[in-house]
Homo-oligomer: A and B are copies of this chain.
Amino acid sequence: MRMRPEGDRADLMLARLGESGLKLTPQRIAIVRELADDSSHPTAQELFDRLAPAMPTMSFATVYNTLDALARCNLIEARALAPGATRFDPNVEPHHHAVCDRCGCVADVAPRPRSTSVDASLPDGFAVRAVEQIFRGTCQRCRDADGGD
């Protein structure tokens, strides 16, 4: 994974969306641009709130429809990292997550080379597609806040 100039990933996602036979409507373009370079793992509500000022008539249905279409094209992944709202991740390369118990923030964690080897005692006949790791704990900010107030 290397650095990309801004907008590059959004353009790539839009191109792939188009190739899949989906129309590049203003709403879809706005959602893709909002999400493409965002590593904060936003919820549908958060995306909607950010887009609302620029597109006041957009509805939740469109946000969910677009996120669903992006997920089908393997351009984003929907993640259940904690109870509550689903989070959407534009990073589809294998990687893991650190989730703060207190504030709920999510950070990407690079995979370890060996973490793909599956020698765990899986159920008989279970065909593994992916291995997800979630590191639960407390982020720097929350630890600081804890000591401070």
Which residues of A pack against B, CB within 8 Å?
78, 80-84, 86, 96, 98, 100-101, 107, 109-112, 115, 118-140, 143
In the complex this chain forms, how many copies of it are found? 2
Nearest-neighbor residue (CB-CB) of A85 within chain B: B83
Cβ contact within 8 Å between A126 and B98: yes
For A111, list chain B residues within 8 Å (CB). Answer: 120
Q: Are B129 and A138 in contact (CB under 8 A)?
A: yes
A133 touches B135 (CB 8 A): no
Listed from nearest, the 3 A-B pairs whose CB atoms lie closest are A125-B140, A128-B137, A132-B134
Q: Are B135 and A120 within 8 A (Cβ)?
A: yes
Do B134 and A138 touch (CB < 8 A)? Answer: no
